[in-house]
Amino acid sequence: MKRFDYVRPSSIAEAVSAAALPGSAILGAGTNLLDMMKIGSAQPERLVDITRLPGLDGIDWLPDGSVEIGALVRNADLAYDERFARRFPSVAEALLSGASPQLRNAATAGGNVMQHTRCAYFHDLSSACNRRSPGSGCDALNGENRLHAVLGWSEHCIATHPSDFCVPLVALDAVVEIEGHKGRRELALEALHLLPGNTPEVESALMPGELIVALRLPAEAADFASHTRYLKLRERTSYAFAVVSAAAALVVDAGVVQSARLALGGVAAKPWRARRAEDALTGKPASPEAFAEAARLALADAKPSGHNAFKIELARRIVVRALTEAATGTPERTIPLPGSVFTTQAGSNHVA
């Protein structure tokens, strides 16, 4: 591991100043960053430890009905918060389907949003990777790429974003609150992560020194609480990243979809919002035919980036299933393996 300086600021302003210095990296729980430092895919000159900054570890319900999630709120604490889980069940389901209980007890909301791709070529220093070393090439293009992107990829990078948490957040119009030298600004989470294009090394819309201080879900997101699901297909039923996943949320009245939200994970370098599919569902009966058409539209622009053509059909099927289960209704009790497509029986309520 490369030697590095360690800084522990006592205020957000100090953290922003330290993070703006070249070679700095923000340290929260470190469940992603420290692993990368050990294998060399991240070599910061300075760690800025924000874990003791005040005011970033709370779940705050605002007067307008929205909820603000501090960047240092632990994944497990958020998923098991009774009020949050009942109002935003697909987000809780996504959190509980990610990583392991030990990691969820440590990982933070802000860190989850900003985690790096798990592409093996990104983490292998002997491989060419434009994301890690701009201009070096992309060995994934002609390598083992069955789990790589089918939407939004370019010849410079075909990696996917690994977060479960971000998928329902994007579907529900979550906002990121960001602190920087110019003060606080807000950005739709959907706009935070960038597609690779010609500059895959630029992974997010954050400017140097900017720090995510909170995430916010609008009050309207709770309108979908009774008809929402997050489903994830993975190669193991626990502690594995998504091959494909989908977050579906509906408002259904008399069997007709009044409003729809749909996002996919595991298919692109960012959580993928399927707006054409949402528009097509609105005003239509909550039927297999409508869901199949939504799935077709959601993947209409998909194309293989290698040996992964199967992911396109797989993603269509998980969209149909997520919409079908959302239309049936959010389970009163959480399933034993949240997010798993292989679980069909209800389990004990995790917020009881």
> What would the pLDDT profile of 141-150 be if each residue is shown by its tens digit?
999 999 999 9
How far apart (Å, rounded) are the C-alpha atoms in residues 20 and 37?
19
Look up residue 230 and give its two tokens.
């997050």
Strand-pairing partners, residue 47, are: 6, 25
Going by DSSP bridges, is the β-strand pair 5-7/46-49 parallel, antiparallel, or unpaired? parallel
3-state secondary structure 129-182: ECCCCCCCCEHHHHCCCCCCCCCCCECCECCCCCCCCHHHHHHCCCEEEEEECC
Would you give per-residue pLDDT tens digits along the chain (352 residues)?
889 999 999 999 999 999 999 999 999 999 999 999 999 999 999 999 999 999 999 999 999 999 999 999 999 999 999 999 999 999 999 999 999 999 999 999 999 999 999 999 999 999 999 999 999 999 999 999 999 999 999 999 999 999 999 999 999 999 999 999 999 999 999 999 999 999 999 999 999 999 999 999 999 999 999 999 999 999 988 889 999 999 999 999 999 999 999 999 999 999 999 999 999 999 999 999 999 999 999 999 999 999 999 999 999 999 999 999 999 999 887 666 688 877 765 544 455 4
Summarised one tens digit per residue, pLDDT across range 296-329 is 999 999 999 999 999 999 999 999 999 999 999 9
CA neighbor of 338 nearest in space, from 50, 37, 64, 80: 80
Q: For residues 235 and 56, give the distance between their C-alpha atoms in angstroms, rounded to a whole number.
A: 34
CATH number at residue 23: 3.30.43.10
300 domain-assigned: yes
Here the CATH number for the domain that contains residue 238 is: 3.30.390.50
Cα 43 to Cα 46, 94, 211: the distances in Å are 9, 30, 19
Q: Is residue 279 part of a domain?
A: yes
Return the amino acid letter for 122.
Answer: F
Q: From CA 204, how far away is CA 315, in angstroms rounded?
A: 24
User: What pLDDT, in 10s, does the model give residues 161-216?
Assistant: 999 999 999 999 999 999 999 999 999 999 999 999 999 999 999 999 999 999 99
Domains held by the chain: number = 2
Report how far residue 141's alpha carbon sits from residue 154's, in angstroms, rounded to the nearest whole number: 10
The answer to the question of residue 111 being in a domain is no
Residue 216 included in any domain: no
The domain in which residue 1 lies consists of: 1-52
Q: How far apart are the first and last CA of the chain?
A: 44
Q: What are the helix and strand counts (H, E) for the chain?
A: 13, 12
Kindly report the number of other CB atoms within 10 A of residue 101's CB atom.
11
| Angle in degrees, 0-180, between the axes of helices 288-298 and 310-328, rounded to the nearest 10 | 140
Flag whether 35 is in a domain: yes
**Reduced to 3 DSSP states, what percent helix, strand and coil does the chain have, rounded to the nearest 5?**
30, 20, 50
Residue 128: inside a domain: no
Token pair recorded at residue 245: 């996943």
Q: Is residue 110 part of a domain?
A: no
| φ, ψ of residue 132 in degrees (nearest 5) | -85, -40
Q: How far apart are CA 315 and CA 147, in angstroms?
A: 12
State residue 84 phi and psi, 5-degree precision. -65, -45
Q: Is 231 contained in some domain?
A: yes
Residue 207 DSSP symbol: P
